[in-house]
A and B are shown apart, each in its own frame.
Chain A
């Protein structure tokens, strides 16, 4: 039997398989090169980039929770110019769509980033992070309100010709409402979910463990919440979805695809198994062979039918 087809297209981003990396968990790719042949990934989403360098939050920035982690990195990154000069040339040598995750404090900052990255060789798409729980201004503030989320997306869209993926937060009353607003504002695709706001207290010291007090929860603990979010948005809207949140195995990834995701992103699992992305790709292929399915696209939204 011929090998099943794993290729998918997310708003013009052509992926040889549906597996990409979750922003902030895979650096700029080179960090994982000893473990992963980057040519084999469907795409890479790099660490959140801002207009100017950011120092990030004080440590401790991470704490383990039941089947998960809380992080409060605070978008530490070297800024977009450094990304273009130092990180992007490395990634260009691979046959790999590069999706640049962007974040800002103001609508203007998002627009300036989008404009700066427009037409830069090697950038396949933008992922607009309107859902970071770890920075004071911006971030989640935009993602929590449909109106301001739409305003960001509109400005970004008019500043770039690249496909625009908008990353949604689960920390909202109705993720469908925010999804509808950003799609109306021009989002070409949606990614979900970003981390869930949480905290942990050290009872001996009677203080929060994270220096930043609160952080974003990720890992297997959040997977059912994420699958639910993808399910609801797929049901309500016709837009490609990149699903993520606690994916560790190929089975987890397939849950998201059946809930309606066209592609999936692997985040926290990379920390446990640096080869997680490749294991998941191989596992999906095996599953398709076992089930006699010729094309992964047959499974997108399969649980709705």
Chain B
């Protein structure tokens, strides 16, 4: 069950261009969180900006009661967050949403992260390694300066990381989905988890359908309540019976959805 607590910032550090990692003391949330869930944070005590901001749980340290976040500065909310210092306190609701379903042991997993989309996938990857699943992470970013896990990427995580950049300044020169396609064609994988921009997810969904593999995506949509009450955060999913589609709430029915549940005609999707 989710709680709303005041969490103290243990540590905050810049890890890339406009990218920050934050450790929060939040034992009530850290003890219950599973990969794919998120927290809803109030970045300011003023009424402007008004809403909280959703951020994925990037990791937990249960012994120390700590919650790890990884975020990109986008606008006012995340700028305010980046200006916070060690010892500052923030209202944090969580853990919220439905996380990833974990595969059978031995199943080979690929994690596909677009930019800051790696945030929830690192938490998932750590869990999968503990469960003895072979894990490879593919990270796509605009340039070498936009790699949220740093230039070496894999040094801080217990699984292999392969990088693709749009401008070729690091790793493969091109979209990260090219790397995924190679892995799929080589039958090197049983299950794919992805988080990132809409275009990347759409392409990933197409590849999964073509190769007949299961996948789960963590989605982003603008939120109001964060707890399923306001119906602000919906995404378009497959329907049943006479209904051709159904809008489902990202905050409680997601943020993780099965790839084959999603309907991709969402022109206005903020991710793409």
Chain A positions near chain B (C-beta within 8 angstroms): 24-27, 31-32, 34-35, 47, 55-56, 58-64, 66-69, 71, 73, 76, 211, 219-220, 248, 268, 270-275
Contact = CB atoms under 8 A, between A and B. Distances in A.
B240 interface: no
B268 interface: yes
Contacts of B26: none
Contacts of A60: 221-222, 268, 270
B234 interface: yes
Contact of B247 (A59, A62, A219): A59
Given A58-B266, A63-B222, A272-B42, A69 B231 contact: no
Main secondary structure of the interface of B (DSSP, over half): loop
Main secondary structure of the interface of A (DSSP, over half): loop
B246 A55 contact: yes
A108 to B, nearest CB: 23
Given A27-B230, A31-B228, A62-B223, A248 B47 contact: yes
Most chain B CB atoms below 10 A, which of A27, A59, A248, A275? A59
Nearest to B245: A55
A59 B230 contact: no
11 contacts: A26-B229, A31-B227, A31-B252, A35-B3, A47-B229, A61-B231, A61-B234, A248-B47, A270-B229, A271-B226, A272-B47
Interface of B: 1-4, 42, 47-52, 91, 93, 221-236, 243, 245-247, 252, 266, 268-270
Given A68-B50, A272-B50, A62 B232 contact: yes
Given A76-B247, A274-B93, A27 B50 contact: no
A220 to B, nearest CB: 5
Contacts of B247: 55-56, 58-59, 76
Given A71-B224, A271-B224, A58 B268 contact: yes
Contacts, number: 114
Given A31-B227, A32-B227, A58-B268, 20 more contacts: A35-B227, A47-B229, A55-B245, A55-B246, A55-B247, A56-B234, A58-B236, A59-B247, A61-B222, A69-B51, A69-B224, A71-B230, A71-B232, A248-B47, A270-B225, A270-B229, A271-B52, A271-B225, A272-B50, A275-B4
B160 to A, nearest CB: 36
A62 B222 contact: yes
B48 A59 contact: no
A31 B229 contact: yes
A32 B247 CA distance: 21
Contact of A59 (B227, B228, B268): B268
B1 A34 contact: yes
A25 B3 contact: no
B264 to A, nearest CB: 13
The 9 closest A-B pairs by CB, nearest first: A27-B229, A62-B232, A31-B229, A67-B48, A211-B268, A31-B228, A31-B227, A271-B225, A67-B47
A291 to B, nearest CB: 25
A271 B41 CA distance: 11
Contact of B50 (A55, A58, A268): A268
Contacts of B222: 59-63
A34 B224 contact: no
A111 B143 CA distance: 61
Contacts of A211: 268
B2 A34 contact: yes
Contacts of A268: 50, 224
Contacts of B3: 34-35
Contacts of B235: 59
Most chain B CB atoms below 10 A, which of A34, A47, A64, A220? A64
Contacts of A34: 1-3, 227
Contacts of A24: 230-231
A211 B266 CA distance: 10
Contacts of B50: 64, 67-69, 219-220, 268, 272
A271 B269 contact: no
B4 A35 contact: yes
Contacts of A26: 229
A275 B43 CA distance: 17
Contacts of A248: 47
B230 A25 contact: yes
B51 A272 contact: yes
A2 to B, nearest CB: 32
A66 B225 contact: no
Given A25-B229, A55-B247, A272 B52 contact: yes
